Chains A and B, each alone.
Chain A
Amino acid sequence: MADYDTDHLEKELGQFLHIGARGDVKNLAIDYILGITDSTHGKQLLGRKESLLEGIVSLTEDDSSDISAKAYKALINLATDEENCLKLLNLSKYQNICIKWLKVALDCSHENADLLCKLLNNVTRPEKCADQVAKCVLDSKEDLLISKMVLALCNPTYNEKADLYYLAGVLANLSQIRDVRLQLMDKKQCIIQRLLPFVEFKQSEICRTGVVATLKNCSFDTDFHDWLLGEEVDILPRLLLPLAGPEEFDEDDMEKLPVDLQYLPTDKSRESVSNIRKMLVEAIFQLCATKTGRSYVKSKNTYIIIREYHKWERRNDPSNEPAIMNLIDILIGDEPAPGMENLKAVEIPTDLMEKFKKEDEDDMKEILNEGKKEETC
């Protein structure tokens, strides 16, 4: 794409990127901008001019739904660039713009709600930005925003004009922040529980990915493990079910499994997205960090599900091997010595840490080579 002179661009287009400009010119201007946002270079160029960014934002409120949709699409493209995300969130003309966007996303009759979800999903991807948005959300007077996001996502008829699947991605990004997780895991409400069925949500891979990522993020909070594993949430079967296949187990093994995993039909299939499977394994691994959590996960016969999944995964995506092996080691390994039961609290000497890292890397190389060999066969 040709080089753009940003000053020139600002001078020529800036005046039309304004809600008060004439309809046909506005339309042409936003079309042009949308075209520029298609390329990495164009995104970076536009990002340098705050006035242009503000102009685009102003057009998201245009009376013409065509123009506002194009403005949102331009912003979505721009927000794939990490630098731009921070700039968009800190435009001097638009304070706390993320709250405004979130409100539109959660407006149950807004036709652009899906575009807003995409935009928020992109904008919250960099951790810094997630942090900033989370702070805005938590500080805002409408303190129900996080739980409202969950409600909107989980209610299929919330907005007839939008699916809101990308909201799951926003939740996943925001749940990197501890205070957001505290809201998701409010023990006096029913919030995270509602997300659980969406682990098996066949209609949307995006929604599934977001929900599983959110659950994985929550699994890092050791102090919530007992609650997550207990009957209030009962998260383990939800994490295991997508990893279970059609294998039959004998009666004894079957009865020890959580009820949701017993007597699965012969056409039971595993989660089709490799990355989701990996996140599920990692979440279960996290839940094994404490002694009580570990013994609970073991007592539910998690091992036989993971064992069968492991055999299957070797034929599908060998790059998930290290995550699975970490989990299996814990499931069938001996309990650590007294005083080291909380695996997260155990201090590992740096030299050993280096050694483990290298071993992991070597393992990975080996696995990938094996994988390649298989492919050429």
Chain B
Amino acid sequence: MADKQGASMSDEERQKLMEKLDADLDAFISEKTKKAKINNVPDKEKDIDEIVKELETHPAFIKEVDWSKPLSPELEGLMVLKYEEENPTARAEAYKEDGNFEFKKKKYPIAIDNYTEGIKSKSPDKELNAVLYTNRAAAQYHLGNYKSSFQDCVIARKFKPDHLKAIVRGAQCCCEMRKYDECIYWCDAALMIDPHNKVILELRKSADKMKRDVDRDKRKAQAQERKDREEDLKLLKVIQSRGIQLAGMKNDSQGRQLDPTLLTSLEVHNPSKARVHLDADNILHWPVLFLYPQYTETDYIEAFCEKHRFIDHLQDMFGPDVPPPPWDKEGFYTPDRLQIFYEDKEKEKLYKVNKEWTLLHCLQQKRYKVFGGTPTFLLLPSGTTFETEFLKRYET
């Protein structure tokens, strides 16, 4: 395309274009010089403070470089010169010195950048690389970056396997990361080189102690788990021996199918996290839920003794001595009028509970199944339209 156009352009046209380009360039240059003049003018108006400030940032007078701000052009130029060294070892060495300078001032992130640049120089000097990695590891360590620090220690040792500082730092990192076995391993490596190193001897001792403490805590937790499980199994056996059915559990006389998790899915209904428990007299106490479908209200009995009768609880909750619940506007909820039912969820059928029954007697009913470890009952006031309608739903 370009060739075609060039070919089609006449000499006259070309001449015109050249003239235009010349003119544009002249205009640009004159504009530039004007601007430069304008810029130069305010020099005279600068006060002494400003000049001093400017001088302070000049590389010849600079006392300290603020790396958080962009560098002055002069300084940047010098920096480039400094690191433009052809020899990678000299370059790495220069970065190392800078890194050490920043490290001493505890400016660890800047020190890390310097060491990184030094590493990037790819010097063939193994010792120097080991030092660069070890120093970067030290800076990372002081920032709490133990994992990065540890990795640098590992690399430093690849360059120089017996670099003591790298091994010591690596051991310290392991300890901070709570890898006590590894810590002891690194300590032993350090002691091969310096058997009397007090830092390492002390570190090894405390790592050994902490490891043993951690191991004990683990064993303790496991022992507790074991104990809990044994108690759960015992409880489930008692429940089974009573002839009570738990939903999801096969009625296996061998007790092999016992799964303690059957009892643990209670959190939803159970703010107190109460669970069925066995008292010293071998009596079960169940958390029990009463549902009042008419008002979608519930009552929760944390420990319903299996030997107590339903009527006892109804008396306590709805008896003449107790103020009626606020939602019972019509006063239908009395021990006499309340009817208790339980639901067979598979067949979707309701079965009536005799109020004189004990909880145990009810739970032993063939069709009764405990769901979520919490026996649940529906309570309806008799002789109300709600009762008739509610019961109708189960008839179909």
A contact set with B: CB distance below 8 Å: 144, 147, 151, 154-155, 188-190, 193-194, 231-232, 234, 237, 248, 259-260, 262-266
Contact = CB atoms under 8 A, between A and B. Distances in A.
B196 interface: yes
Interface string B308-335: 0000000000000000000000000000
A151 B209 contact: no
B34 interface: no
B209 A231 contact: yes
B79 interface: no
Contacts of B192: 151
Interface in B180-202: 187-188, 191-192, 195-196, 201
Contacts of A193: 204, 208
A259 B188 contact: no
Contacts of A259: 212-213, 215-216
A190 B204 contact: yes
B390 to A, nearest CB: 53
12 contacts: A147-B195, A189-B201, A190-B191, A190-B201, A190-B204, A193-B204, A259-B212, A259-B213, A262-B219, A263-B220, A265-B222, A265-B223
Main SS class of interface, A? loop
A161 to B, nearest CB: 20
B106 interface: no
B352 interface: no
A144 B191 CA distance: 12
A159 to B, nearest CB: 14
Contacts of A188: 196
A264 B195 contact: no
B204 to A, nearest CB: 6
B202 to A, nearest CB: 10
Interface residues of B, number: 20
B142 interface: no
Contacts of A231: 205, 209
Given A189-B195, A189-B196, A194-B188, A263 B223 contact: yes
Q: Across chains A and B, which 7 residue pairs bring their CB atoms closest together, nearest first?
A: A263-B219, A259-B216, A263-B223, A263-B220, A189-B195, A262-B216, A259-B212
B226 interface: yes
A260 B215 CA distance: 8
A265 B195 contact: no
A154 B189 CA distance: 12
A237 B208 CA distance: 13
Given A147-B195, A189-B196, A190-B204, A260 B188 contact: no
A248 B219 CA distance: 12
Contacts, number: 45
A260 B187 CA distance: 21
Interface of B: 187-188, 191-192, 195-196, 201, 204-205, 208-209, 212-213, 215-216, 219-220, 222-223, 226
Nearest to B198: A188
Given A259-B212, A259-B215, 6 more contacts: A151-B188, A190-B204, A231-B209, A237-B212, A262-B220, A264-B219
Contact of B222 (A155, A194, A248, A263): A263
Nearest to A266: B226
Contacts of B223: 248, 263, 265
Contacts of B204: 190, 193
A266 B215 CA distance: 15
Contacts of B187: 190
A260 B216 contact: yes
Contacts of B215: 259-260
A263 B220 CA distance: 5
A117 B192 CA distance: 21
A248 B220 CA distance: 12
Give the residue among A144, A154, A234 with the most B Cβ atoms within 10 A. Answer: A234
Contacts of B208: 193
A85 B212 CA distance: 43
Give the residue among A144, A190, A259 with the most B Cβ atoms within 10 A. Answer: A190
Contacts of B195: 144, 147, 189-190
A260 B195 CA distance: 27
A232 B208 CA distance: 10
A265 B219 CA distance: 7
A248 B187 CA distance: 35
